[in-house]
Every structure is written in C-alpha cells, then in structure tokens.
Amino acid sequence: MKIKERILEMVQKRESDLPALPAVIHNLIRAASDEKTTTEALAALISYDLGMTNKLLKLANSMYYAQKNKVDTLKRAISVIGFDEIIGIALGMGILSSVSEISGLSLDMKALWMHGIGVATASKQIAKQTNPGIAGKIFIPALLHDMGKVIFSIYFKKEYNEVRQYALENRRPLYFSENSLFKLDHAALSALLMTRWNFPASIILPCRFHHAPESAPVKYRHHALIINLADYLTQKAQLGHSGNPVPVTIKNAPQKIGINESAMMKIIELLKTQEPQIKEFFKITTAVN
C-alpha cells in the first residue's frame, strides 16, 4: 500500500491510532464553530481543565500581552488575549499535549510550535495592515497550519526523515518534497485531520491552502495568502523551526495581499524584537502541568 493510501486510511478510519483529543478540545472546537458562543460560556468550558486555565492566566500576564494590571480571571484573560486567539492557543496546547509523550519523532514538536506562534504573530500583524476584519480570525489557522507535519512525524517517521533529507539535498520546500514522495502534503493532511475533528471551515480552509492560496475559495483566499507570507517571514526571522530547508512564498504574494517590502522588513524586525516575549509564550504553553 502506498504512503498516501496508508495515510488516508488512518485518518478516515473511525478506529485508528490517531491520538485522542481531550474532551475540552472537542468542546472548544464546537465553541469555535458557533458564533453565538459568549465569553462567559468559553470561560466556563476552559475552567474544567485546571492546567489549561493556569497556563492561559499566566499567558495573559506575560510580557507578550504586557498588561499593567494583574489578570486574575478567565473572563479577563479572554478579553486580553482575544476570543478567537484563546481558542486557538487552547486547541494548540491540547493537541501538543496529546503527542508530547511520543518519543523518536522525526520533527522537533516544540520548535514547530514556536514556529506556529511566530506565524500567528506575523499573520495578525499583516491582517491588521491589509484586512483588519480578519485580524482576529487569522490567529487560529496560522497557529495550527502545520498540524499535518505532526502526523507525518509520529506515524511515518522513517519515510518522513527521507522526505526531509530529499528536501535538504535538493534545496526544495518541504511541501514540494512531501508531494513528490507521498503524493500528499502536510497542508492537505492538516485539512483531513481538522475535518475528522469537526473544525469549522474558517480554520480548515486557510490551513489547507496556505501553500496554494490562489486555489482557496474566495472567502478564505486572503487568509491563506497571509499565512503563506507570514510563514516565509517567520522563517526569515529564524523563529522556531518548521523543518523546511527553503523559505518560500508564492509569486507576488506581498502585492496580492497589499503589503510592501518595507512593511515586510518591519514585521521580520518585530518578530526578532519580540523573540523574548514569544519565547515566554512558548515556555508557558509547553510547560508540563
């Protein structure tokens, strides 16, 4: 059986070896899908997980959010961090914790998470400048855009090491190498996983098309373009590691998004300047409870 067929069977089969997500994560996915979810309801959901609650309160009080007054309630933390952002961070922490005990991975999960934080930070900055209406919504898919790499790394260690070696030796982007050897890349696999876990389209589609944004449905094309460029800028800033040996963005991405060279350089500098804050964000969200 070819790698692609094995991956599809594993993801689509009801009973498979895929890590089980905590109940709170399934509830958060439902909350993300429901526009009627209130701050109070979200706080109540998260409060069932004491470890997650403590991390989010620490995060709201961190350098990353630079609050003058202490944040001591979940409701206030949601206000400080942002409604969609807090869902994304909680989802990311839940998924990360479900695979963190697995050893011998072909990718460094913590370096990948650090990269995701950088991409989410850069995406929000780009969105604020080019499309403020999606600035809140872009954080979740930007943070989780490389989820497919986690599954490749866990379940296809040997084969994925070969993909990474191929990418390195041929100076090719990782997604190109995945398609060459697996006939399936991490963006497509992320979408399959998210579909299985009932994520909303607003998260699935920007992730699915972040390497091919012009193929995305019109409603989510700008989201995918932003993540594509933010991915590139984060690699240029050398924050975390995505496993990709060649930073690349699609042709004319800045012009299509509506951002110039000077603004891009400022975002790279911002990421470098904010590295201590991003590292604190990383440390808090990956700490063992």
- Convert the pLDDT of each residue in 165-199 to its tens digit: 999 999 999 999 999 999 999 999 999 988 988 88
**Band of pLDDT at residue 92, cut at 50, 70 and 90:** confident
Instruction: Look at 18-22, 93-97, 191-195, 253-257 and tell me which has the smallest mean pLDDT.
Output: 18-22
92: its two tokens? 């990311």
Quote the CA–CA distance of 204 and 183 in Å, as a whole number: 20
Choose the weakest-confidence range: 14-23, 34-43, 142-151, 267-276: 14-23
Q: What is the mean pLDDT of the chain?
A: 89
114-129 b/e with 16+ CB inside 10 Å = b?
bbbbbbbbbbbbbbeb
Tokens (6 digits) for 7: 């991956």
Q: How far, CA to CA in Å, does 153 sit from each of 34, 173, 179?
A: 32, 17, 15
What pLDDT does 109 receive? 77
So what's the pLDDT on residue 103? 53
Identify the three-state secondary structure at position 265: helix
In this prediction, residue 102 carries a pLDDT of 60
Nearest-angstrom CA–CA distance, 158 and 164: 10
Percentage above 90 pLDDT, the chain: 55
| Interatomic CA distance for residues 220 and 44, integer angstroms | 30
pLDDT tier, 14 (very low <50, low <70, confident <90, very high otherwise) = low
As a whole number, mean pLDDT of residues 112-137 equals 92
Give the structural domain span for 253.
3-286
CATH value at residue 127: 1.10.3210.10
Q: Greater confidence, 251 or 20?
A: 251
pLDDT tens-place string over residues 67-91:
999 999 999 999 999 988 888 888 8
For the segment 232-248, the average pLDDT, to the nearest whole number, is 90
- Whether the per-residue pLDDT at 210 is higher than 60: the answer is yes
The residues, ordered by sequence, that sit 6+ positions from 275 with a Cβ below 8 Å of its Cβ are 239
User: In which band, very low, low, confident or very high, does the pLDDT at 256 lie, cut at 50, 70 and 90?
Assistant: very high
Helices of type H across the chain: 3-12, 23-33, 39-47, 50-60, 74-81, 83-99, 109-130, 139-144, 147-155, 157-170, 174-182, 186-196, 201-208, 218-236, 253-257, 261-273, 275-286
Using the predicted structure, report yes or no on whether residue 51 has a pLDDT greater than 70. yes
> Mean per-residue pLDDT for 259-269?
95
Rounded to an integer, what distance in angstroms lies between the CA atom of residue 111 and that of residue 39?
31
Averaged pLDDT, 240-266: 90
Q: How many domains does the chain have?
A: 1
19 has a pLDDT exceeding 80: no
Given CA atoms 37, 40, 43, 48 in this order, what sign does their dihedral have? negative
Position 251, amino acid: K
The full length of the chain comes to 289
Q: How far apart are CA 229 and CA 142, in angstroms?
A: 11
Neighbours of 215 (CB within 10 A): 10
Query: Of 234, 229, 231, 218, nearest to 253 (Cα)?
Result: 229
- Give the pLDDT of residue 106: 63
> Residue 289 has what pLDDT?
63
Yes or no: say if 18 and 11 are a contact pair by the CB < 8 Å rule: yes
Q: Identify the pLDDT of residue 34.
A: 85
Reply yes or no on whether the pLDDT at 5 is more than 60. Answer: yes
SS (H, E, C) 176-187: HHHHHHHCCCHH
Which DSSP string corresponds to 106-157?
A: SS-HHHHHHHHHHHHHHHHHHHHHH-GGGTTTTHHHHHHTTHHHHHHHHH-H
59 confidence band (pLDDT: 50, 70, 90): very high
